[in-house]
Amino acid sequence: MSVQIEGFEELADQLEELSTSLDVEQDIPMGELFTDGFMATNTDFDSISEFFEESRWTVESEEDFQKIDEDEFDRYVDKHTGFSSWEAMLSAAAREWLTRQIEL
**Under the phi-then-psi rule, with left for phi > 0, alpha for psi from -120 to 50, and beta for the rest, what region is 7?**
left
CA angle 69, 40, 57 (to 5 degrees): 25
CA angle 36, 26, 14 (to 5 degrees): 80
- Residue 7 clears pLDDT 60, i.e. is over it: no
Q: What is the pLDDT of residue 5?
A: 54
Q: What percent of the chain clears pLDDT 70, i.e. is strictly above it?
A: 73
Average pLDDT, the chain: 84
Task: Tell which residue, 87, 91, 74, has the closest CA to residue 38.
Answer: 91
Distant-in-sequence, close-in-space partners of 79: CB < 8 Å, separation ≥ 6: none
- Residue 13 clears pLDDT 80, i.e. is over it: no
The pTM (predicted TM-score) of the whole model is 0.74
More confident residue, 102 or 8: 102
Query: pLDDT tens, 28-45?
Result: 888 999 999 999 999 999
Q: What is the pLDDT of residue 68?
A: 96
